[in-house]
Amino acid sequence: MSDYTPIAEIPKIVASLRTTFRSGHTKPLAFRRHQLHQLARLAQENADALATAIHLDLGRPKQESIMAEVGAIVERSLICAEKVGEWVQTEDLEGKVEVWQRGWRPRVVKEAKGVVLIIAPWNYPLILALQPLYGAIAAGCCAVIKPSEISAHFSSLLATLLPQYLDTSAYKVVLGGVEETTELLQVKFDHIFYTGNARVARLISLAASHFLTPLTLELGGKSPVLLLPPLSPSSLSLAAKRIIWGKTQNAGQICVAPDYVLVDPSLRSSFIAEIRTHLQAFFPEEGGALKSKDYGRIVSESHFGRLTAMLERTRGRVVLGGRWDVQSRGIEPTVVVDVPEGDVLLEDELFGPVLPVVEVEGVEGALRYLEDREHPLVIYAFTDGEEVKKRLESHTTSGTLVFGDTFAQVAINELPFGGVGESGYGRQVLKYSFDNFVYERGVVDVPFGDEPVLAMRYPPYTAESLEFFSAPLKVDIPRD
């Protein structure tokens, strides 16, 4: 595309940002706060334009973009501006060290890492580009933002808006596809923040290893829903409503979308009936979700083809939905039952509005099913049983565990967000985003006047000095 950043310019862009960082331009708190306020203004003053661009790319309803992205960037950028002075405070260790070390003024200083790269996905293009960015700004870093070429309208708009609000000597947008991203990865950065899938994350990790660049990887994977007794009829109805709402957001193209359901056999038929009821309420138009302005579309022809090919192979097991529209790339919310082990629906992350339902026998059956699979970004669990909840909390591993809802975790500003293993590592949201882009630097200032205290460390060594340093070898160790 003509608006892609020329590949030859990419090393120059990064070099200019490094010059800015080395000058100390981004470090004063007043600068950081101003840029964070400007980031909030960018989102607030261009909310309609941003929502429109996302709609053009994804067919996403305006309310979803405002609710999940634009509003959150305004709110969290302002919180960062308010809190950054607290986050950067030096930690004084004088009262925590040995008495003879207190005169050394030991402390931990939060230092900005430097020039960072943010590679954002297409499915949540605003918040997953700007959430790491507010963390980088708060930390005092310079940043390159590489939005996805798949969300072309949003990426072009961001490239236009960002220079109008932020300091262009410190923050740059690079547009492009695989070639431009590959060139970026040939340049040394001080941190890379990538949001996307595990396949690409492995390539980025390999490139980063050349420079030993630290990474934050926000991936996805197959986030399960557990539907387990005891569960009253009213709770089951709400569970179905909240699950299918989560699955229909952005037509399921969200890293924290419910991927599949593990359900006790006693609950399956009622669960499916409740989903049908709630879908009719969500999309009452004739033609259902495929005709609704409140339902998103599949982002690309290739992804649409992948999903519809899966549905073709599972037609006999579809109990709800299953239709699609080629012209609009719409796939209606679809429930598939009797999904066998090894089925294509249970392999990779679906990233679409298809919901496989797998029967398991109670909480123990669910635990057995999960224990041999990769750790998910989130586990959603619906049950009225407190003992069941305790069992799930103590015997599962995931980035987040949510009882009674879907997506609730992303609305909590104080909660860390991130994965485990195959679903990623590192955390974000507010201070956790800030923490990605700083390192904790230990500082010690040993007075020359403390030389008598240090005298025994020098040769020639004596029996007396050996006795002094052997003291830890003589302490009593508790017997458990």
Those residues whose C-beta lies under 8 Å from the C-beta of residue 207, and which sit 6 or more positions away, are 185, 186
- CA-nearest of 272, 263, 277 to 383 is 263
Q: Can 141 be counted among the known catalytic residues?
A: no
Q: Are the CB atoms for 228 and 361 separated by under 8 Å?
A: no
Catalytic hit among 142, 255, 274, 332: 255
The answer to whether the Cα torsion of 401, 407, 412, 415 is positive or negative is: positive
Q: Can 255 be counted among the known catalytic residues?
A: yes
Q: Are the CB atoms for 67 and 304 separated by under 8 Å?
A: no
Those residues whose C-beta lies under 8 Å from the C-beta of residue 319, and which sit 6 or more positions away, are 272, 335, 336, 337
At 166, the amino acid letter reads L
Peptide bond before residue 6 is cis, with ω within 30 degrees of 0: no
Q: Are the CB atoms for 329 and 301 separated by under 8 Å?
A: yes
User: Whose structure tokens read 């719409």?
Assistant: 330
The answer to whether the Cα torsion of 455, 460, 464, 467 is positive or negative is: positive
List Cβ<8 Å contacts ≥24 apart for 410-414.
410/68, 410/256, 413/75, 413/76, 413/79
Catalytic hit among 218, 274, 332, 349: 218
- Rounded Cα distance between 76 and 189, Å, is 25
Those residues whose C-beta lies under 8 Å from the C-beta of residue 410, and which sit 6 or more positions away, are 68, 256, 417
- Rounded Cα distance between 53 and 28, Å, is 34
| CA 196 centroid distance within chain | 9
Those residues whose C-beta lies under 8 Å from the C-beta of residue 471, and which sit 6 or more positions away, are none
Is 341 exposed, middle or buried, given 0-12, 13-18 or 19+ CB atoms closer than 10 A? exposed
Please tell me the number of Cα atoms within 13 Å of 28 on its side-chain side.
Answer: 6
Please give the torsion angle defined by the CA atoms of residues 401, 380, 261 and 59, in that order, rounded to the nearest 10 degrees: -120
Q: Are the CB atoms for 127 and 68 separated by under 8 Å?
A: yes
Please tell me the number of Cα atoms within 13 Å of 271 on its side-chain side.
Answer: 29
- Rounded Cα distance between 355 and 276, Å, is 13
Q: Which residues does the annotation mark as catalytic?
A: 218, 255
